[in-house]
Amino acid sequence: MVGLRSLRILLLSTPVGPLGSGLGGGVELTLQNIAKILQAQGHQIAIAAPAGSIYPGFAVVEIPGHPQPTAQSAGRDALITLPENSVLGNLWEYAWRVQADYDLLLNFAYDWLPFYLTPFFQTVVAHLVSMGSLTDAMDEIIDRVARQFPGTIGVHSAAQAATFTFAEHCRVLGNGLDLSLYEFCSTPEPYLGWVGRLAPEKGLEDAVIVAEKTGIPLKIWGVMPDVPYWHDICDQYPDAPIAYEGFLPTAELQRALGRCQALLMTPHWVEAFGNVAIEALACGVPVIAYRRGGPAEIVSHGKTGWLVEPGSIEGLVEAVHRRSEINRFTCRAEAEAKYSLTAMGDRLEEWFRYLLPSIQSRP
């Protein structure tokens, strides 16, 4: 494939929290990986992100202001809100001021403002939408941009796109990892893993019930934005063999995750992708997930894990009993074949070539 000429691209991060805090969920890792591969492909990458963001090796423009509340559990008719001195507003004011320095602005925020502002920019704005349909107001504004600026809406999975009215206008990009950072582990220890934000839409309680029913210890990693949610689970299932291990940076997370016999993914929503699924596979860890959303596209049933009817605890328990039927080498091989950073980079370049038809390919 002929590469694009070097593009100047500004990545605008999520306003939910600083890069490295974990509050932004999978978006943080996704943005970091995309920055890394685009830079390796020869593009000039700048990142604008909330103050306190850390990403060694990249110049991060730190934008002050109050974080955006999370959208996940707001309800379909939730109104658009912004705090006073909003970091989201400040990020996009910054983008407005510097737009002439860039060929492309890439939005990672699942927020109304960047979509609303899109027609007012001279520089092309592309959006990488990180969640499925959540609220009517967000659906309406993304729909409007999708129709007015065809091709500018990127998503991670077909299942995610299908939650929107504008599914056919979405570009499915999947995701990719720097696989060199994930070590293959062939000799797991006797525990299961669960990784993600400890929040209701992630359905941690289902995995805890599985631990209780099977007696197999469950280790849990992730940020805890909703402490009462965690305490409720502990109160409800006092005998479940579970341990909360905190939020770890990628280098430590992959080491711990690699030792799991299987990863349980039990979301109660349509998971747009599920970075943790491909992180597990990269370490050789089978994934046991509900057959819905991104994980259902990532996990190959019977080959790299087991897909279970959403909400079926019995199904999860049965899959846990069959975890050793999955070959851990196959899991790693699948990650290498489908989720490398270079494959993701190629898909992104193809997208940018479509978005910027006047950009010349490299000679």
CB of 28 to ligand UDP, least distance (A): 7
Comparing CB distances to ligand UDP, the nearer of 50 and 222 is 222
Cα 127 from Cα 104, distance rounded (Å): 11
The amino acid that residue 28 corresponds to is E
Q: Is 248 in the site for ligand UDP (CB under 6 A)?
A: yes
Residues in contact with 227: Cβ distance below 8 Å, sequence separation at least 6, in sequence order: none
Among 67, 196, 258, 295, which residue sits at the site for ligand UDP (rule: CB under 6 A)? 196
Q: How far is CA 300 from the centre of its chain?
A: 19
Contact between 295 and ligand UDP per CB under 6 A: no
Name which position in 132, 274, 295, 315 contacts ligand UDP (CB under 6 A).
274
| Interface with ligand UDP, residue 247, by CB under 6 A | yes
CB of 105 to ligand UDP, least distance (A): 21
Does 286 sit near ligand UDP (CB under 6 A)?
no
Q: Among 17, 18, 22, 315, which residue interacts with ligand UDP (rule: CB under 6 A)? A: 22
Q: Tell me if 296 contacts ligand UDP by CB under 6 A.
A: no
- b/e sequence 78-115, b meaning 16+ C-beta within 10 Å: eeeebeeebbbbbbbeebeeebeebbbbbbbbbbbbbb
DSSP assigned state of 323:
G
Taking residues 253 to 272 in sequence order and writing x for each that binds ligand UDP by CB under 6 A, - otherwise, the string is: x-------------------
State the alpha helices, DSSP H only, in 129-224: 136-148, 158-161, 204-214
What amino acid is encoded at 253 in this protein? Answer: L
Q: Binding string, 214-243, against ligand UDP, x = CB under 6 A?
A: -------xx---------------------
Q: Does 198 bind ligand UDP (CB under 6 A)?
A: no
Query: How many whole angstroms separate alpha carbon 159 and alpha carbon 170?
Result: 11
Alpha-helical runs (H) found in 149-181: 158-161
Whichever of 198 and 355 has its CB closer to ligand UDP, that residue is 198
- Burial environment of residue 258 by CB neighbours within 10 A (0 to 12, 13 to 18, 19 or more): buried
Q: Is 197 in the site for ligand UDP (CB under 6 A)?
A: yes
Residues that bind ligand UDP (CB under 6 A): 22, 25-26, 29, 195-197, 221-222, 247-248, 250, 253, 273-276, 279
